[in-house]
Structure 1
Amino acid sequence: MGEFELIARYFTRPLPPGGGVALGVGDDCALLAPRPGMQLAVSSDMLVEGRHFFADVYPAHLGHKALAVNLSDLAACGARPLGFMLALALPRMDEVWLEGFARGLLALADAHHCPLVGGDTTAGPLTICVTVFGEVPAGGALLRSGARPGDDIWVSGTPGLARLALDALRGQLHLDASALAVLRRRLEQPEPRVALGQALAGCASSAIDVSDGLLGDLGHILRASGVGARVEADAAAALIGGCEPLAGLAEALGQELLLRCVLSGGDDYELLFTAEAQARSAVQSAARACGVPVTRIGRIEAQPGLRLVDAQGAAVEGRFPGFDHFA
């Protein structure tokens, strides 16, 4: 099978009607058509075998994640997906792998009305690069720079589960098969919070997706906004401690491990965001409408720096660095 037959067989589909794409796969460029008064939101992420995923990952799961991590960036800006491009390097022609990968990729694309509009394929070490396009009302994007002193700090879902799965798959932690199966799905098939991001656009003051660790990603908001923060360690640990797959295991795992997974673990692709205290009911209403739980874990302060405290306000010691490819 040649390159162009590969593209035609696995990655070429009719465009859905009524979307924001005027021209998709098959020409030198795709043509996007955002609605009047909208700005384009663009993000790109790369996944490299051995760095971002295990060699034995199911191809359909990998296809899902390749797009999910990009849709999560759109979610953090409050953007609506328009379409995406795929650049794919393959070490060999494997039709079984390609069928599974394309199925997982395009199923998530269909779920978020985000068609594949172009890209490139080549031979080389397995590398996946997706660039996603969305639209957001002009001046209405959620940014990292909008947090203000007094704002609440919120996070969606249960961050930390992907890191627990990673530790277990590396043999650093023992979990029973049923718990590991649930957690591995969180690592390999994260659900981008696209609807929540759009729903929060009217009430959140800043946002970021949790890809490299909760505290590390919160640090990006603090630097961009010129503020500090106080984060409640007990509230953060409770996120993962109350998760059903770990029922009865939280005590055995210990507070230190739970905190490390929640605060340092990446790959959750939950939304971390801030909002004024008077917006609490609006935040909860938006979350309920999207079927996504959200939890308040701290507040923004004027004093620079990040302070981790217990329920009594005493400082909690420990280092919880985020992931850095070159650290």
Structure 2
Amino acid sequence: MISRNPRRRRTLLASAVLAAATLFAGVAPAVQAAPEARSDVFIRDNTSDVGFEPSTGSLYSSPDIRVCFSATVLCATDDPIVQGSTAYIHVTLNNPGPYGDGLEKGTLQVYYTKQGTVAQWSSQWNYIGSATNVSVPYGTKRVVIPWKVPIGSHFCLLARWLSPTDLPTEGLSTSTNARKNNNIGWHNVNAVPFKIKIPVLRPIVFGWDGPDPTAVGDIVFTQPGRPFTGPGRITIDLGPDLAARWRAGGAKGEGIERVGETELAIVNPQQARISGLTFKSGEQVDARLSFTAGDEAAGGQYTVHVTQVDQHGEEVGGVEYRLTEARQ
């Protein structure tokens, strides 16, 4: 049972605020009268999330957002998408959260961006579609939005819930927006089918989405559960730009091994860290990951988290990679 808290996050005059927010996001606003009861639908940031703001724990792999081949059947984990195909984004809405007990009706919006740890709101997000006039009863409701997958096959997703009494307060930082608003869910999950001894490449971008002109941070690799490092091999090609920044910062890190001019291998499965990287606000710097499975990886399932943290150790964002052997 979800606990209640009589505290209100914010008091909103529905028509004017909703019109401004939805118009900004590219959705035509509807004139609605202010409801009598406060409502609080939420999208979980992680499996422990019950809607409190700010949330705690991981924020970039929302379990309430899933990408599937089917519009009617919820897949157990994300299906690997293919450019040019139609995928279906399943978003689970939870009602009520801790800040309201009214029945909810509103709009669900979904966006995508390049696979990576950061993206500034809203300039670096692309609109996919929305479902309007959605009624959310007590409990949960799953909403499905079709998506014609664009060029490329590795993306991050963002879901936003807007209603007359439940609008997000947003700034440039996607991570801050997701942490402080329970009606925003961020889903950076990539399904990685692998074949034995054949490298699988995945692009990834790092950067800084906050308002400060620059930020210094680390890239951290963790592997909960059975580690892929050992049965397999993980490397990251920083590219010339990011590699130069790393060397300028003293080439610091742990659990890594330099294997090329711009390439590092992840050698510690518990935690590996690339430290002292400097980013300017709003930039996204390209890098590339490589996952190569050995014979011992056959039949296994693995999870690898690539997380960016700032100079204070606070999570900026990340990507969760779910590796399984490809079906023959």
TM-score normalised by structure 1 residue count: 0.26
Ranked by relative contact order (alpha carbons within 8 Å, sequence separation 6 or more), the top structure is: 1
Name whichever structure is richer in strand by fraction.
2
TM-score normalised by structure 2 residue count: 0.26
